Amino acid sequence: MTEVSLERVRLQIDALDRQIVALIATRQKWVEKAGRLKKDDAAVRAPGRVEQVVAKVCTLAQEVDASPYVVEETYRAMIGAFIDLELSVHQARCTTEFPSEKLTDTRSRGNSSTGPGAA
């Protein structure tokens, strides 16, 4: 049996990271589109949708022999980060449509595990 070096393992992980980041960029584009379509901040946050996505990816994790814990924690962190992004996209759309209304800063409200990044 051939032993794999740590350097080789790290190169494989780096290649996977490149693919993962590309997929996150694609997901971001769809999340931004969703943010422009939603009517209000509650629709953006959509905790029911978040839980639906988390349940789905945990099931997928089991199907491919990945740790459901790692997948859930990763998705909750990613969705939390997408909260801020989608809220800012949504707020920007609202500001464009209703420029006279003063909107609050979304950064003070985002980054919770029940955020909109689920789209």
Please check whether residue 114 lies inside any domain of the structure: yes
The predicted model scores a pTM of 0.74
Q: Which of 57, 55, 33 is nearest to 116 (CA)?
A: 33
7 — pLDDT class (breaks 50, 70, 90): very high
Residue range 21-63, pLDDT digits in tens: 999 999 999 999 988 888 899 999 999 999 999 999 999 999 9
First to last CA, the chain: 46
The Cα–Cα gap between 90 and 117 comes to 12
Please check whether residue 35 lies inside any domain of the structure: yes
Please check whether residue 98 lies inside any domain of the structure: yes
Please check whether residue 1 lies inside any domain of the structure: no
Count of domains forming the chain: 1
Please check whether residue 61 lies inside any domain of the structure: yes
- In one-letter notation, the amino acid at residue 25 is A
Domain at 105, CATH number:
1.20.59.10
- What is the extent of the structural domain holding 80? 6-118
